[in-house]
Amino acid sequence: GENVEQHPSTLSVQEGDSAVIKCTYSDSASNYFPWYKQELGKGPQLIIDIRSNVGEKKDQRIAVTLNKTAKHFSLHITETQPEDSAVYFCAASRAYSSASKIIFGSGTRLSIRP
Amino acid sequence: EAQVTQNPRYLITVTGKKLTVTCSQNMNHEYMSWYRQDPGLGLRQIYYSMNVEVTDKGDVPEGYKVSRKEKRNFPLILESPSPNQTSLYFCASSLSPLEVRRGTDTQYFGPGTRLTVL
């Protein structure tokens, strides 16, 4: 079946450094790739997304890149801050299809060291 | 305030005792979905609904039922809960994926329901 693999499962970086989380997907028909941030005791929140007709998208300190040929996409957080500490999930779906299953990665726990 | 609400937030029950977790959204979203979250497995989709009276299975539908009689509500039903359904459950809603061209396909998640089945 379709799946999304996410690495690493845990990541610790020094405050101010960059963090990179990588995901690969199996369903070649996927065309929408959101990233979610989940803080302790809360539901996931969308932080950035990218569609298959775009290779890169940036929003302030957060950027996402997509390589459709290799079927992988990555989240980049620059100048990390303590409030970036959370669990991050990638996901893939066929956003324009009536089959709107969304497959999530297993999550990355990001810790920012002061 | 735009939000997704779930009730109850915490529930401890026993094997076989039917239960319902309610989910309601006030954003007039067409698409609603239920997920369970387990350590090391991330979020797995249980069921989703494209609109009223339209539901479909996600990745892990076994042991669950849903209904969508009204646009705003999407209850999750466990007819005969078992201990392997102990988990953290999230409801989410968004614009119809078919209308995503208008803007971002943001899914709004509820606060979660922690269910323990003894």
Give phi and psi for A83, each to the nearest 5: -75, -5
Ordered per-residue pLDDT tens for chain A, 114 residues: 678 999 999 999 999 999 999 999 999 988 889 999 999 989 999 899 888 878 899 999 999 999 999 999 999 999 999 999 999 999 998 866 655 678 899 999 999 999
Contact B35 A104 (CB under 8 A): yes
- Which chain A residue has its CA at the smallest distance from B49's CA? A100
Contacts of A96 in chain B (CB under 8 A): 97-98, 100
Read off φ and ψ for residue A45, nearest 5 degrees.
-125, 135
Task: Evaluate if residue B102 carries a pLDDT over 80.
Answer: no
- pLDDT for residue B108 is more than 90: no
Q: Chain-wide mean pLDDT for chain B?
A: 90
> Which chain B residues are Cβ-neighbours of A45 within 8 angstroms?
109
- The tokens describing B101, both together, are 């061209």
Quick check: B96 pLDDT over 90?
Answer: no
User: What number of other Cβ atoms are within 10 A of residue B3's Cβ?
Assistant: 12
The token pair at A19 is: 């963090």
- Phi and psi torsions of B57, nearest 5°: -75, 145
Residue B10 confidence (pLDDT) above 70: yes
pLDDT at B97: 58
CB pair distance less than 8 Å for B50 and A98 = yes
A114 preceded by a cis bond (ω within 30 of 0): no
**Minimal-distance CA residue of chain A relative to B43:** A104
Distance in angstroms (rounded) separating the CA atoms of residues A20 and A22: 7
Q: Mind listing the pLDDT tens digit for each residue in B16-72?
A: 999 999 999 999 988 899 999 998 888 999 999 988 999 999 889 999 999 999 999
CA distances from A81 to A26, A61, A108, B33 (A): 32, 10, 16, 32
| Mutate: best of A27, A45, A100, partner B, most B CBs <10 A | A100
Q: Say what the pLDDT of residue B105 is.
A: 59
B101 pLDDT above the threshold of 60: no
What is residue A82's predicted lDDT score, i.e. its pLDDT? Answer: 96
> CB B104 to CB A49 under 8 A?
yes
Q: Which residue of B has its CA nearest to A43?
A: B111
Task: Answer yes or no: is pLDDT of B99 > 90.
Answer: no
The answer to whether B58 faces chain A, any CB pair under 8 Å, is yes
Tokens of A13: 């970086």
Chain B neighbors of A46, CB-CB under 8 A: 104, 106-107
Measure CA A87 to chain center: 10
Would you place residue B94 in the very low, low, confident or very high pLDDT band (cuts 50, 70, 90)? confident
At residue A98, the pLDDT reads 56
Residue in this structure with the two tokens 């009276």, named with its chain if needed: B53
CA distances from A21 to A92, A93, A107, B14, B41 (A): 15, 18, 9, 39, 16
Is the Cβ pair B42, A104 closer than 8 Å?
Answer: yes
Residues of chain B with Cβ-Cβ distance to A5 below 8 Å are: none
Distance (Å, whole) CA B36 – CA B58: 11
